Amino acid sequence: MMKRLTQYAHGGGCACKIPPGELEDVVAGLNTAPAQPNAELLVGLDTGDDAAVVRLRDGLATVATADFFTPVVDDPYDWGRIAAANALSDVYAVGGRPIVAVNLLAWPREVLPFDLAREVLRGGLDVAAQAGCHVGGGHSVDDPEPKYGMAVTGVADPAALLRNDTGKPGVPLTLTKPLGLGVLNNRHKATGEVFDHAVATMVELNRDASAAALDAGAVCATDVTGFGLLGHLYKLARASGVTAVVDAAAVPYLDGARASLRDGYVSGGTRRNLAWVAPHTDFGATPQEDRLLLADAQTSGGLLIAGEIPGAPVIGELVPAGDTPLVVR
């Protein structure tokens, strides 16, 4: 009998990202601009933002990103949908609209049937169509471990971007999707239990949240994926030169997330996230359980917006820079 799809991967979804501290060491010193650039780079490598943005002319910028990962669920169609929504999210996170994507597929061709790969690609196509984004082919390789995602190109107004380095003191923090995807996905991988509400959360596009943020006049945002809420918020606070205060009691969680944490379904990625942010965070008396959930490695999570949008909970605020970039109370 063929193993479940998630059993072919050492990790699952965005939890298999290279740890943020290690990644920053790798890319340090690589931010060298060309001597004669063809266009103006507005958002690049400096602050670890969600996508690259280049000004083409007044009123028009192009957005470029790529994201792919190992199976996060056993259903290949759902995996394709989740991976596509996650890749498109990087465009929405900077205030852009996706225009065209290309598939990125790694497949163990002698182990897994191509019927499964077709279902993965079909899931990606369906979500891209929902986003109004063309899919123009892609690239595939024979790989011992299945992986799927997309490289996405979008457009944005260079005068109306969402960046992670433009946060200002006195602005509230809004989170548009509940946390807990990491522990639920890890439980699914270990037990085979299916969490339909987690799948529904992951396939939900961040399009409407991005548009609402722009309509509200927000200029600062990021999406919450593999580095967890605290990891992405730390990057935002550090880049903006502010301190971010999180009200732990106001953070929403998916049903079953706390129970899954207590049952031990915590990924290595989540523990690495917490270890990375802990030296830069004043946790006060926050219990370890809450610390882990706030660092939980999300896959296709929501937007974290410096500002308020209708229907989404405010989970904290930005304040003038203090002793640490992060405070959890």
Which residue numbers are catalytic?
14
Partnered with residue 153 across adjacent β-strands are 64, 100
- Report the Cα 31 to chain-centroid distance in Å: 22
Q: What does the alpha-carbon distance between residue 326 and residue 111 come to, in Å, rounded to a whole number?
A: 45
Residue 250 Cα distances to 87, 161, 177, 305, 316, angstroms: 27, 27, 13, 15, 8
Strand residue runs (E) in 143-282: 147-156, 172-175, 221-223, 242-246, 281-282
Phi, psi for residue 134 in degrees, rounded to 5: -65, 150
Number of helices (H) and strands (E), helices first, in the chain? 10, 13
Q: What's the CA gap between 232 and 206, in Å, rounded? A: 16
Using CA atoms of 302, 305, 309, 315 in order, give the dihedral in degrees to the nearest 10: 80
Place of tokens 């060298």: 32
